[in-house]
Amino acid sequence: MPNLENLRKQAKLYLRWHRDGHHTVAAQIRAVLPRFRDLDDRAVLAHRFRLADAQELVARQQGFESWQALTSGVHAMTDKTAALPASPVLQAAEPNLVVRDFAASRAFFMGKLGFEPVFAYGEPPFYGQVRRGAALVNLRLVRDAVFVEGIREREQILGASFTLGTAADIKALFLEFQAAGVDFFQSLRQEPWGARTFIVRDPDGNLLLFAGPA
C-alpha cells in the first residue's frame, strides 16, 4: 500500500529535479503527462512545472488519473489495512536489464509482452523504461560482454533499483545491511540531484541500488 506522505515527498523531489534541469525526469514527464508529450527534453525543462504537475505525475505512475483520485484511493486502503510495520518498507523495484540491441529489446517488451513505453534517453536511445501496470523494467544498451571480469563495476551496471520513502529509512536500511556484513560497491552518500543512495554487490557481482530522499 503506498504511503501518502512518501508520495508527497516523491512529488517534491520530481519538482526539484525539474528545477535543477535533470533530463531523466524530463523524459518521465513527457512520457506520463499528455500535455508534455510533444516537447523535447529541453522544452520540458523550460516549461512551467508546478507542484500540482509533479503530484499528477506521481498519481499517474501509481495508476490514478489525478492526485485527488490517488489520495482518495490511499485513504480508502488505509481504512482497511492494519498499521504498517516499524521496519523500513521498500516501495518499488525497477530491474535494469542489459541488452545488446536496445530497439529490438524494447520492441519485444512492447510487442510480445504487452508493455508500454515510459521514456527513452539518448540519440540514438541507449537507455529507457517500459511498464505494464505497476511493473517497470529499465533497458540499458551495453556493447561489451557483461560477464567479462570487472565490466559491471567499471560501467556501474545495475541489476536492480529499490526506492525507499524517507531519509530515515534509507539510513536505517544501510546500517542494517552493514551490520549483516554485506558487500558494498558504494557506501551511503548524497547524490548531486538530492537523492541518498548506496549500492550492494551480490555474490554473483550484480549491483543493487537502494535510493531515498535526502
Query: d(Cα 128, Cα 12) in Å, to the nearest integer?
Result: 23
Range of the domain at 36: 4-80
- Same domain? For 56 and 150 the reply is no
Cell of 134: 505497476
Cα of first residue to Cα of last residue in the chain, in angstroms, is 22
In a domain, 85, yes or no: no
- Same domain? For 41 and 98 the reply is no
- Same domain? For 135 and 190 the reply is yes
Q: How confident is the model at residue 33 (pLDDT cuts 50, 70, 90)?
A: very high
The tens digit of pLDDT for each residue in 47-86 reads 999 999 999 998 888 888 888 888 887 766 655 555 555 6
State the pairing for strand pair 207-213/195-201: antiparallel
In a domain, 21, yes or no: yes
pLDDT of residue 65: 85
Question: Which CATH number does the domain housing residue 151 bear?
Answer: 3.10.180.10
- Same domain? For 128 and 149 the reply is yes
* 3-state SS string for 130-168: EEECCEEEEEEECCCCCCCCCHHHHHCCEEEEEEECCHH
Of 80, 110, 126, the position where a domain reaches its end is 80
Domain count for the chain: 2
Mean pLDDT, the chain, rounded, equals: 83
pLDDT of residue 1: 47
- Same domain? For 23 and 103 the reply is no
pLDDT of residue 152: 66
Of 23, 47, 80, the position where a domain reaches its end is 80
pLDDT of residue 81: 52
Would the pTM of this model clear 0.85, i.e. be above it?
no
- Same domain? For 117 and 23 the reply is no
The answer to whether the Cα torsion of 55, 212, 139, 133 is positive or negative is: negative
Mean pLDDT (whole number) for 111-132: 89
- Same domain? For 75 and 105 the reply is no
- Same domain? For 67 and 100 the reply is no
- Top-confidence residue, 72 or 103: 103
Instruction: Show contacts of 47-50: CB within 8 Å, 24+ apart.
Output: 49/15, 49/18, 49/19, 50/15
pLDDT at 184 over 90: yes
- Same domain? For 36 and 129 the reply is no
pLDDT at 148 over 60: no
From the list 12, 59, 70, 68, the residue with the least C-alpha distance to 33 is: 59
